Amino acid sequence: MLDERVITYSAALNEALRQEMRRDRTVFVMGEEITGWGDGGGVFGVTKDLSNEFGKSRVRNTPISEEGIVAIGVGAALTGMRPVVELMYGDFLTLAMEPLVNQAAKLRYMFGGQAQVPLVVRSNIGASGGKAAQHSQSLESWIMHVPGLKLALPSTPYDAKGLLKTAIRDNNPVVFLEHKLLYFAKGVVPEDDYTVPFGKAIVRRSGRDASIIATQAMLAKCLTIAERLAHEGIELEVVDPRTLVPFDIETVVESVKRTHHLLICHEAVERCGWAGEVAMAVLEQVFDYLDAPIVRVCGKNLPIPYSSSLEDIVIPSEQDLLTATMALLGRQEYVVELT
Amino acid sequence: MLAYNPHSLIDSRLSFDVGALNPGFLMKSTSLKGNKAQKVDQSQEFDQCDRELLINMLRRMTLIRAFDSRLPALYTQGLIRGSSHASIGQEAVAVGACFALRQTDYVTSTHRGHGHTIAKGGDVKRMMAELLGRAAGYCRGKGGSMHIADFSIGMLGANGIVAGGIGIAAGAALSVTMRESHDVVLCFFGEGAINQGVFLECGNMAALWALPVIFLCENNQFAMSARPTETTSVSDLTKRAAAFGISGEQIDGMDVVAVFHAVRQAAERARTGKGPSFVEAICYRYEGHFSGDNLRYRMKEERAAWNKKDPILNLRTRLIGANWLNVQEGDDLVRDAERQIDEALEFAKASPLPEPATAWEDLYA
C-alpha cells in the first residue's frame, strides 16, 4: 500500500513544516534551540534538518525571550508573514500571554477587520515522567477561554501533520499544543499534501454504552480501557475532538444521543478545565438523553509533583478511568481490574 | 519619597529661558545634558529643511493639537466614552518622526496615539468617528481612542498595553527583512514602557538581528503620574540603548526639526542594513494622563516653564523669523485645522452607531 508509511508524531510535524515552507515562502519557524540540541531539531526533534534546506533566517533560533518571540511573531504576521513560533514547553505560555491574549487574539477584531494575524504558536503540554511543576502543565483551558484564539491538540501522527498544515494556512492565530508523550509515538502518515480540518471531531472507537471524550495521552488511556471493557461486554464510544476551538459539539451530542452516558477526560486540572465547558454544552442540548450525571476524570487540583508515586496521583490513570466508567454505568460494584 | 523640585528636572534636562521665543535663540543649538551625539547647529538643520516641508510640519502639528484639544468638550457633551489620552505638547515628536519616513514605512503607536496617526497621514474624519464609536470609524466602532489603526498607511495601531507596540514593531521589522523590502519601522513608546520586559527582549533581538526599527522613546516626563526619577534607574535613557549595543541619541523632542533629522538618520541606518536605533525625545505632556486627570501631582509653574518650549509656537516663530510665514498665514493654519476638526466631528456625528449584529463580525474563534 502506497500510504502505509509509518513515522513518528515528531517526524509528522517536521514534514508538515517542511511542506508548508516549500509551498509558501512567507512561512518561517522560530523558537529557542530549534536548530540546536539533540540531532539539531530542538528538544523534541520537530524542526530537525529544516535549517539545512531553508537556512537560518527561516529557521530562526531565538534568545530565551518567550514574550518577545510571540510578540515578534504577531508583528511579522500582521505584515505579511506566516510565523510558526515554538515555545519549548507549554508552561512558558504564561510568559507569552500578553502578546497572545492582548494582541494576537484581539487585533483583527479591535481594528475592525483591517488586520489579520496568521500566527501559529506551537508548544507542548502534559506530564511526561518527572518533569515536575513547571514543565508538565496542561494549560489548554486558559487558551480556550480567550475569544480570538483557535486551539488544536493533535493526538496521532496523522492528525499532527494535517492539523499543523491547517493551522499554518489559517489567517488567524492558532495555538497548537502537542503532547510530550506522543512525540515518539508512531502511526501511518501519508507523504502527500493533506490537511485535517478544524472543528471536526473523530470517533476513534464506536460503541453503544457510553461516550468518552479525550485527547492525546488521555485518549490513549481511554482506548486502552475501552478494549479492556469490551471483554466485559461493555462498548465505549471514544471521541477525539482534535480541536478545542472550534469545538465539534455536534459529534459529541450525536454520540450521547446513542449512548446516554458521557465521560470527559483531560489531563489538565479539573477546576475550570474544558471538561466542565463541554459538559455544560452537552447538558444544554441533550439533557433528556442522559441516563446518568456526566462524569469528569481530570487532573487533580495540584501542581504536578516530581516523584513518580506523587505524579501518578495527579494524572488520571487507566484504573481511574475504569472505575469512573463503571460508576457512570451504574455498575460500581462490578470491579474491573486493568490486567 | 523623592524630594521634588519642579524646576530641577527641567533645568537638568533642557536649558531654555524666557528668550526661548526669540527666534535668534532658537537658531542656536540646544544644550542637552548627557547627549553624546554630535551637536548639530540647529540653524543649519533648519536651513536644510525646505520651506514647504516646515510649513507642512507646522500644519500637521496644528491639526494634532486641534484634534486633541477637542477631547474635553467631547466628554462634556457625552459624545465619547472610555479613556482617551491627549498628546498636546508632544506634536513635534509625532510629526518630526513621521515626516522622516516614507509612505510605505510602518509605525506602531501607544495609548497616546492620535498624534502618531495624524502625523502618518491618517484621516481625522475616520479617527473622530472611531472616538464617537461610529460605524464609519477606522475600527468600525470596535477600537476607540486606544486602538486606532490604519493599515493602508502602515499605521499598525495604537495599543492599550504599555509597550504592546514594541514587539509588533520588531516583528514588522523582521517581516520587512525577510520579505527583502526596504521599509523601516518606527516604534513610538513612552518612557514608562522602557521598564517593561518586552523592551529588553525585543531590543535585544532587534539588535542581534540588525532589524530595521527605530525605537523612539517619547520621554514626556510622566508615566501616568510617575516621573522617570521615581521609576527608572538611569536618568539618561540612552544607556538602555548602550546595553543593546545600538545607537542611542537624546534629542529635544519639543523641536520638530531636531526630531526630523534624528529619525531621518536612524531610518537611513535601518534602511541600509545597519540595524536599530534608539532615540530619546525629551518632551512634555501638557495635559493629564487621560482626559479628566486632575494633575494633582504637578505644579502649574512647571507647565508654564515648558510652555516656553511649545513645539508649535516655536516652529511658527522660527518660520516667521525666517520670513517663510507671515502672521496671517500662521493664523490661517490654525483656523484651517479647527475647520477640519469641525468637519470631522460633523462626519462622525452623521455616521450611525454600528449595528449590534456587527459585534460578531471579525471574530473567528
Q: Which residues from A are below 8 Å from B139, CB to CB?
A: 110-112, 114
d(CA A338, CA B17): 87
Q: Would you state the cell numbers that stand for residue B333, as one nine-digit string?
A: 493654519
Tell me if the bond preceding B276 is cis, omega within 30° of 0: no
Question: Nearest-5° angle of CA A183, CA A184, CA A190?
Answer: 90
Residue A250 and residue A241 in contact, taking contact as beta carbons nearer than 8 Å? no
Strands A82-86 and B106-108, bridge-based pairing:
unpaired
Taking CB atoms and an 8 Å limit, are B201 and A73 in contact across chains?
no
Separation of CA A271 from chain center:
18
Q: Which residues from B are below 8 Å from A101, CB to CB?
A: none
B337: containing domain: 49-351
Q: Name, in order, each residue with C-beta under 8 angstroms of A56's C-beta and a sequence gap of 6 or more.
A: A35
Q: Is residue B211 part of a domain?
A: yes
Residue ranges of domains in chain A:
6-188, 202-328
User: In 10 A of CB A23, how many CB atoms?
Assistant: 12
- CATH number for the domain harbouring residue B293: 3.40.50.970
Active-site residue, from A15, A20, A86, A135 = A135
CATH of domain A202-328: 3.40.50.920
| Stretch (H or E) spanning A210 | strand A210-213
Q: Is residue B57 part of a domain?
A: yes
d(CA B279, CA B92): 14
Closest CA to A46 of A78, A67, A18: A18
User: A227 catalytic, yes or no?
Assistant: no
Q: Which of B157, B202, B363 shows the shortest C-beta gap to A111?
A: B157
Task: Please tell me the distance in Å from B290's CA to the nearest CA on chain A.
Answer: 20
Helix, strand, coil content of chain A in percent (nearest 5)? 40, 20, 40
Q: Would you state the cell numbers that stand for residue B100, as one nine-digit string?
A: 522622516
The residue type of A68 is G
Q: Collect all residues from A whose CB is shorter than 8 A from any CB in B.
A: 26, 28, 57-58, 62-63, 65, 67-81, 83, 98-99, 102-103, 107-115, 147-151, 172, 245-246
Tell me how many domains chain B contains.
1
Q: Is residue B23 part of a domain?
A: no
- Return the SS3 of B190: strand
Taking CB atoms and an 8 Å limit, are A68 and B362 in contact across chains?
no
Q: Is residue B266 part of a domain?
A: yes
Per-residue pLDDT of chain A (339 residues; tens, 9 = 90+): 555 899 999 999 999 999 999 999 999 999 999 998 766 788 899 999 999 999 999 999 999 999 999 999 999 999 999 999 999 999 999 999 999 999 999 999 999 999 999 999 999 999 998 999 999 999 999 999 999 999 999 999 999 999 999 999 999 999 999 999 999 999 999 999 999 999 999 999 999 999 999 999 999 999 999 999 999 999 999 999 999 999 999 999 999 999 999 999 999 999 999 999 999 999 999 999 999 999 999 999 999 999 999 999 999 999 999 999 999 999 988 888 877
Q: Which of A71, A114, A148 shows the shortest C-beta gap to B202?
A: A71
Q: Which of A81, A109, A115 shows the shortest C-beta gap to B363?
A: A109
Q: Which residues from B are below 8 Å from A248, CB to CB?
A: none
Helices and strands counted in chain B (H then E): 16, 5
Q: Is residue B229 part of a domain?
A: yes
Closest CA to A65 of B173, B187, B199, B156: B199
Task: Please tell me the distance in Å from A249's CA to the nearest CA on chain B.
Answer: 14
User: In 10 A of CB A307, how many CB atoms?
Assistant: 10
Q: Is residue B201 part of a domain?
A: yes
Tell me the fold of A6-188.
Rossmann fold (3.40.50)
Residue B171 and residue B164 in contact, taking contact as beta carbons nearer than 8 Å? no
Active-site residue, from A66, A86, A140, A267 = A66
User: A66 catalytic, yes or no?
Assistant: yes
Rg value, chain A, Cα = 20
Q: In this structure, is the dihedral angle defined by the CA atoms of residues B17, B18, B23 and B24, taken in order, positive or negative?
A: negative
